Amino acid sequence: MALRQAGPIPLDVEFTCDAGDVLAIFGPSGSGKTTILRSIAGLYRPEVATVRAGSAIWTDTRTPAFTPPHLRAVGFVFQEYALFPHLTAVGNVVAALGHRPRAERLARADELLTLVHLAEHRDRRPHELSGGERQRVAVARALARDPSVLLLDEPFAAVDRRLRRSLQREVEAIRQTLDIPLILVTHDFDDVVRLATHLLLLERGRGVASGRLRELTSRPDLPWLRDAGLGSVFDARVVATHPGRGLVELAFDGGTLLTASAPLADGSSVRVRIAARDVILATTAPGGLSLHNVLAGTVSGIERGDADHVVVQVTVGGEQFLAEVTTDAVDRLPVVVGRPIYALVKSVAVDVGG
């Protein structure tokens, strides 16, 4: 899709999102994130727009082709959830099933509430549900439309950090059952790390960068990383647990990592994030250290920012690690592109999301 206009909300973006992908649209408030979702859903019409879902053309201002919102196969979870207060949970979901025969609607609504783990609360009204439960009803209602794309607008903004992690896991579990694109708008980088496969960075309505998450988060030349928190993001698999040592062993495309013990099942896939400030560089393999992870790699990039800090990109197997160090450290070692180097990471610094 492509959206462009000078105002009142500037837009200049172009991207695709394939089935099974989770595209996070990330940027500060006022950068146009929600306007993009509304444009996909047909609730807003930019000056220049092309929106396609598979072979269907929903918007094309050159034609001009325009499919009304109620005829678009879009599931939309609004920031405030927008549930009908007078209807029960199951009633809210049934209300979105008008495209199905009446005899099928109640059974399908119950299936979707079971999917989001709310079957036991089917007869409760929104005011009788917690914030997280209301969100799950909103997701079930969005899925009731049998959507070609699922849109989530700041879905975790109204919950605390502990519940946020739980809901992130539930959304990820639901995503794995779907074969449609999912587009997530957020201003919290933790949502990006936990859920996204792809990322679109916005600044004042303009797409600054877009691509696979693991590639963008490993680019030291993107200044937005300094605000979000420099670090590397990649997927790994739990290969062993060591309860006696309080450690979990993870395999990734570059070797293995040990992380502090967590409730993770052997064989499960996890998302790993390592902050650049938690990576230490060494030109020789060290010994006699308390940390567990000494990763052999090669310096693949050096980004000199301000006078005091340098971001070093280290390739370890098929993954990229970032290390934020001082200018003095880079000059003293010295660190140069192409040089073999060791990335040292404490086990407690390996942030793992199941």
pLDDT value of residue 203: 86
Amino acid at 15: F
Measured CA to CA, the distance from residue 193 to residue 273 in angstroms comes to 7
SS3 275: strand
Measured CA to CA, the distance from residue 51 to residue 66 in angstroms comes to 9
The domain over range 231-353 is classified in CATH as 2.40.50.100? yes
Measured CA to CA, the distance from residue 280 to residue 263 in angstroms comes to 27
Amino acid at 116: V
Q: Which residues contact 264 (CB under 8 A, 6 or more apart)?
A: 238, 241, 248, 270, 352, 354
| Architecture of the domain defined by 2-221 | 3-Layer(aba) Sandwich (3.40)
Give 84's DSSP letter.
-
pLDDT value of residue 28: 81
Environment class of 59 (CB within 10 Å of its CB; exposed 0-12, middle 13-18, buried 19+): buried
pLDDT value of residue 231: 86
Residue boundaries of the structural domains of the chain: 2-221, 231-353
pLDDT in tens, the chain (354 residues): 899 999 888 999 999 999 989 999 998 888 899 999 999 999 999 999 999 998 899 999 998 899 999 999 999 988 777 899 999 999 999 999 988 999 999 999 999 999 888 999 999 999 999 888 888 899 899 999 889 999 999 887 766 677 777 778 778 888 888 889 999 998 888 888 888 999 999 888 898 889 998 888 877 777 666 666 678 889 999 999 888 888 999 999 989 999 987 777 888 888 899 988 899 999 998 888 888 899 999 999 998 866 678 889 999 998 999 999 998 999 899 999 999 999 999 999 998 875
pLDDT value of residue 218: 78
pLDDT value of residue 147: 92
Write out the E strands in 83-224: 149-153, 182-186, 198-203, 206-212
SS3 346: coil
The predicted model scores a pTM of 0.84
pLDDT value of residue 191: 86
| CA-CA-CA-CA dihedral for 291, 292, 296, 298, to nearest 10 | -50
Task: Give the pairing of strands 74-77 and 149-153.
Answer: parallel
